[in-house]
A and B are shown apart, each in its own frame.
Chain A
Amino acid sequence: MSIDRRSFLLEASKLIVLTAPAAAAWDYVIAGAAEQAPDYDASAHWWAMIIDVEKCIGCGRCVQACKAENGVPLEPQYFRTWVERYEIDPDDPEHPHVESPNGGYDGFPGPTKPGTKTFFVPKLCNQCADSPCVQVCPVGATFRTPDGVVLVDKEYCLGCRYCVQACPYGCRYIDPRTHTADKCTLCYHRITKGLQTACVEVCPTGARYLGDLKDPRDPIHEFLRTHKVQVLKPQMATHSKTFYNGLDGAVR
């Protein structure tokens, strides 16, 4: 193939003209990307969480650690993670008594009613693969990272609150300081540096486990193979990546 001077110059000038906006656009894309460690390859991970209900003792350390690590407002209506206590009367399983005083931040008071089935259920963003909150955001300020974490761009969020309405699990709130949506980030600033999430880090009984489904050596595969796990509200078909071991059918 031969190229004459005229078409060479034409193509070359086109290339130069197109490269400048492409470079500017790329800068923009990079600027909008989630905070990452320099050698972290987001496409090589797919994060998931295991919650072992049998192990949770309701101490609230995870709630405290989360609020401290992520600067979550201390008022009792803002939580990235919280713990619920269920008390189920075996004769009336349809009407469980549930409470979560201050999200379980200070632990739980007093003994439960004798003769009831009692357990704790830690909750956090389910990092759904098909998340309704991402779907409804009118400007795409809520997005899913390539490694499967749902994040909010605070510089872009309108504060319309549609995502809060769309989350079936009550995991979102509006940060009163920024007037934008906020939620569990799976401690993205930590896990991209090879660290654990704050809640996993402090749990004294190992009730929480952060796993990487793309890492074949991760023990999460063994756990999922050998345990009967459930997700919350499976009928919502959100492809939740927070798996519960030993979850009672009464939990919502």
Chain B
Amino acid sequence: MDGMQGFIYPNEAELQWSILIVLYPFITGLVAGAFILASLERVFNVQAVKPTYRLALLTALAFLIVAPLPLQLHLGHPERSFEMYLTPHTTSAMAMFGFVYLWYLMAVLVVEIWLEYRQQIVTSWQRSSGLTRIAYGVLALGSTDISADALRVDDRVGRLVTIVGIPSAFLLHGYVGFIFGSVKANPWWSTPMMPIVFLFSAIVSGVALVMLMYQAMAWYRRVAVDMTCLDTIARYLLYAFLIDLSLELLDLAHRIYEADESFKTLDFMVHTRLFVSQIVVQIVLGTLVPIALLASMRWVSRARVRQVVYAIAGMLTLVGIFAMRWNVVIGGQLFSKSFLGYTTYKLQFATREGLGVSIVLLLLPFLMLGGLVRLLPPWPHEDRANAA
């Protein structure tokens, strides 16, 4: 068959997991990373990143709402997916997804956002009228006490939720890594490193996304970027990137040195079918170049230059992490489990699992974020000052 090379088991001619399954770890990674950035301010008291705290939470929420969609679209029977809640199979790594997801959405993210915004929701409710008033009234959930005492309680509970939230964010994405890392039949996936590599790449992508969104929002609102904030985020991005790179290099070194039965097959694949997406896009353009850019900015004094370079580094990072997800998910299916041959993934455009749907799924969180930002502006004080 077209695109095949060597021998593959006959049933392997059909690739099972498409670009939609590439989106799944990419999107959940952005959620986990954005949340961990938000937690820096809250739990570790990094005041410099405060301007991005609320934006990071809303970004995480927008992407988390979209996260199950690619999975649903991919299922042969989406209407049966609820069975995962009703009759989860306890030995299945995948069965826990629904619970991890719901826990993270309902027990962590929504609660934290609500507590953070409660005062603002109540004041907006008091000041508005008509439909807007009803909307804010619903959001307030009947809790309209915004006395200093009540807000102190909010703050304390919010802090607690964040403390629970950090391991939850780790769980969410480490778990996604485990889904792949625990497949012993597939040597490209099967490594205990997978959850931790996924986790750090998630932090990298989430931080890069919030960094970009913060700049984009500042540009859109025509306000000055807080350079201390931006520099701090960029520095954290660099640190996370260095850990991520070290982990991936460790994995690589281990594979090369051990050179087990699958090594020659995988090595050949990386040098041929995955060369562009793995070596060129993921490692060079998506990892080494942004690391070099971010690291070099400590010697650049002009804020404008730093801003532009951060934006470029952020975008390259997102492309690189997307390529990483691609190389894991698609790369893991391009070789035969017989280690004797290779197949190809043909990405189509206008199909249920095609490129068109994927683009829509990637734009959807941004639309949602736009709506959330309108409903719950992350910068209330400045807006009020502008309006006055």
Instruction: Decide yes or no whether A217 CB sits under 8 A from chain B.
Output: no
CA distance A137 to B179 in the complex (A): 12
Residues in B whose Cβ lies below 8 Å from that of A165: 16-17, 183, 185-186, 333
Please tell me if the beta carbons of B88 and A139 are within 8 angstroms of each other in the complex.
yes
- B340: which of A77, A123, A166, A252 is its contact (CB, 8 Å)? A252
Residue of B nearest to A183 (CB): B11
Please tell me if the beta carbons of A180 and B338 are within 8 angstroms of each other in the complex.
no
A100-B7, A169-B9, A170-B338 given; A158·B81 CB < 8 A? yes
Please tell me if the beta carbons of A77 and B7 are within 8 angstroms of each other in the complex.
no
Q: For residues 114 through 142 of chain A, which have their beta carbon under 8 Å from a beta carbon of chain B? A: 123, 132, 134-140
Instruction: Decide yes or no whether B272 CB sits under 8 A from chain A.
Output: no
User: How does the 8 Å CB contact mask read for B180-205 relative to A, with 1 for contact and 0 for none?
Assistant: 00011110000000000000000000
Please tell me if the beta carbons of A138 and B340 are within 8 angstroms of each other in the complex.
no
Looking at chain A's contact residues, is the secondary structure mostly helix, strand, loop, or mixed? loop
Instruction: Decide yes or no whether B10 CB sits under 8 A from chain A.
Output: yes
Residue of A nearest to B7 (CB): A98
A98-B7, A159-B75, A179-B76 given; A76·B92 CB < 8 A? no
A138-B88, A162-B94 given; A168·B11 CB < 8 A? no
Instruction: Decide yes or no whether B95 CB sits under 8 A from chain A.
Output: yes
Please tell me if the beta carbons of A252 and B89 are within 8 angstroms of each other in the complex.
no
Residues in B whose Cβ lies below 8 Å from that of A97: 7
Give the number of residues in B that approach A within 8 Å (Cβ atoms): 41
Please tell me if the beta carbons of B83 and A168 are within 8 angstroms of each other in the complex.
no
Instruction: Decide yes or no whether A174 CB sits under 8 A from chain B.
Output: yes
Please tell me if the beta carbons of A136 and B94 are within 8 angstroms of each other in the complex.
yes
Chain A CB within 10 Å — which of B8, B11, B97, B184 has the most?
B11
Residues in B whose Cβ lies below 8 Å from that of A170: 8-12, 336-338
Q: For residues 94 through 111 of chain A, which have their beta carbon under 8 Å from a beta carbon of chain B? A: 96-100, 102-103
Instruction: Decide yes or no whether A164 CB sits under 8 A from chain B.
Output: yes
Return B143 CB to nearest CB of chain A, in Å: 37
Residue of A nearest to B96 (CB): A138
Residues in A whose Cβ lies below 8 Å from that of B185: 132, 165-168, 236
Residue of B nearest to A134 (CB): B91
User: How does the 8 Å CB contact mask read for B1-40 relative to A, with 1 for contact and 0 for none?
Assistant: 1000011111111101100000000000000000000000
Residues in B whose Cβ lies below 8 Å from that of A159: 75-77
Q: Which residues of A are in contact with B by a Cβ distance under 8 Å?
A: 76-79, 82, 84, 96-100, 102-103, 123, 132, 134-140, 156-162, 164-174, 178-180, 236, 252
List 7 contacting pairs A-B, 8 Å CB cutoff, sorted by A.
A97-B7, A138-B84, A162-B179, A164-B11, A165-B333, A170-B9, A173-B11
Counting from the closest, the 10 A-B pairs by CB-CB distance are A159-B76, A170-B9, A179-B76, A168-B185, A77-B13, A98-B7, A140-B89, A138-B95, A138-B94, A161-B16
